[in-house]
Structure 1
Amino acid sequence: METKRVVIKVGTNVLTNKDNRILGPILRELVRQISVLYERNIETILVSSGSAIAGKEILGETNIDDSSIRRQVYSSVGQPRMMRHYYSLFHDYGMRCAQVLATKRDFDAGKHRENMINCYEGLLSEGVVPIANEDDAVSLTMSMFSDNDELASLVAELLDADRLIILSDTDGLYTGHPDDENSKKLTEVTVDQNVEQYVQASVKKEGEGRGGMASKLKIAKGTARKNIPTYIANGKRENVIVDIVDNKEVGTKFIH
């Protein structure tokens, strides 16, 4: 399968350590792999988590009781820091990046959707890597994405991507908990295959939050139904993005 355009979503658990600190080497490896795709003339759109964590690194604990407002504040403060990281790293590889903010409503049919397409296509035509993020300042309730997996799926559909790669801290979907020696990783799943039964057994013992495996499975199947092969893979695995594009057996692949 020839790949000309790919959307990559990288989750917070990939970008941070156990102390919730942003991992510079992981960011650099992510950008290095995108530079490899760039040299192959493969257009890449990045959907990156991490802004809320980056914001908390700057602000520390706040006096804001409302969790939604607190997340907005952390994300708003953290966005420039994440973009500064990305700008510097892409510059090191002779590349440029740009931030594209959106709410869920922007993907509805109409002028906002058309404007987004034009912006993305313009950036890609100039060799600029768009970094998609939720517009946290105005994204609440109905205009809020369930998580960045949903944002990545909508961007992949919007831009007719050839693949969607969802990078998590697990190697894919397992038949049980990943640490259980009797669990097996599913290498390929069709949209009609009943694998939901495995999700509860495969989640981490502390439970899943926003963007957990249940959400990823739903998003992966939904995107695959639109004829966009979707992958759930370990973002900390060496060369994971390039290996997926090279059709190596990495992670769990979802197909129609």
Structure 2
Amino acid sequence: MEKNTKMDNNEGPKRIVIKVGTNVMTNRDNRIVNTVLRKMVDQIAILYERGIMSVLVSSGSVIAGKEVLGSKVGIKDKIIRRQVFSAVGQPRMMRHYYNIFQDYGMRCAQVLATKRDFDPGKHRENMINCYEGLLSEGIIPIANEDDAVSLSMSTFTDNDELASLVAELTKADMLILLTDTDGLYNGHPDDENTERIAHVGTDEKVEHFIQESTKGEAEGRGGMKSKLNVAKEAARKNIPTYIANGNVDNMILDIVDGKEVGTKVSDD
């Protein structure tokens, strides 16, 4: 597949970062769903033909590691267990992506990082050079945290934070955070009168809606609060950010095409 580098009157994004969460790519049995990954890659391939390059920030390595090892791991320490699952799961996830991208005649590459790699200095410069080199060759970078070596001081809050840092590093025109809800709501999604919030400004106080939507339920790593904080921070750096449902067909394309879906966080 040859890359079409032409853009219509220089309008629209030329480079986007897409983060896909575990809840999007797994089923009720907590296993990776290959068809979900394929639908996402299909959209990335369409954008590629339009001359829009994507960077994919993908969860799933720990789940993929559990698929391989099951309950046979006897390690009691939770941090070490996560490291082991991630180390085993990373090549499994990349095999999924490699095979799917290959079906589209495209190439992908894995880029692992810890939080300290984004600090000013040689590591950050190396990261920039790596991303720019891959993108210039039409290769889709797939970013993830290097769980196998990350320690408490160099661990991302979640992959939403990693995605925002990658978006800033690569000078992306847009950041898309794919989750299993349609965006931010002004109440609980199951309530009859609840509506999706289409747009949030960076200084707009909407955090109380998150409490209403969860109704006191515990929020895990990478929940809506984190997504909103990350989205506002990215938007302040002139990177419009969308929180949207990755289980909806063609969601990425709809966002890029300017359709009113998900929750857009920006100052425009």
Determine whether 1:210 maps to 2:225. Answer: no
Determine whether 1:23 maps to 2:28. Answer: no
Structure 1 position 27, deviation (Å): 0.5
Distance in 1 (alpha carbons) for counterparts of 2:111 and 2:40: 19
Which amino acid is the alignment partner of residue 188 of structure 1?
H
Unpaired segments of 5 or more residues in structure 1?
none
Distance in 1 (alpha carbons) for counterparts of 2:78 and 2:225: 23
Q: 1:35 maps to which residue? A: 45
Which amino acid is the alignment partner of residue 177 of structure 1?
H
**Which of the residues 234, 238, 241 maps onto 2:252?**
241
Which TM-score applies when normalising by structure 1? 0.98
Which amino acid is the alignment partner of residue 197 of structure 1?
H
Distance in 1 (alpha carbons) for counterparts of 2:28 and 2:186: 25
Which TM-score applies when normalising by structure 2? 0.94
**Structure 1 stretches of at least 4 aligned residues deviating more than 6 Å after TM superposition:** none
**Which of the residues 85, 97, 114 maps onto 1:86?**
97
Q: CA offsets, 1:75-106, max 9 Å, x none?
A: 11100000000000000011000000100000
Which amino acid is the alignment partner of residue 154 of structure 2?
S
**Which of the residues 23, 26, 32 maps onto 1:13?**
23
Structure 1 position 207, deviation (Å): 2.7
Structure 1 position 15, deviation (Å): 0.3
Q: 2:159 maps to which residue? A: 148
Q: 2:149 maps to which residue? A: 138
**Which of the residues 240, 250, 254 maps onto 1:229?**
240
Which amino acid is the alignment partner of residue 64 of structure 1?
I
CA RMSD of aligned residues (A): 1.0
Structure 1 position 128, deviation (Å): 0.2
> Number of matched residues?
256
Structure 1 counterpart SS, 2:188 = coil
Distance in 2 (alpha carbons) for counterparts of 1:31 and 1:73: 27
Distance in 2 (alpha carbons) for counterparts of 1:212 and 1:64: 27
Q: 1:59 maps to which residue? A: 69
Structure 1 position 203, deviation (Å): 2.7
Unpaired segments of 5 or more residues in structure 2?
1-10
**Which of the residues 72, 76, 96 maps onto 2:107?**
96
Distance in 1 (alpha carbons) for counterparts of 2:214 and 2:236: 24
Structure 1 position 139, deviation (Å): 0.7
Structure 2 counterpart SS, 1:146 = coil
Which amino acid is the alignment partner of residue 36 of structure 2?
I
Identity %: 71
Distance in 2 (alpha carbons) for counterparts of 1:179 and 1:207: 17
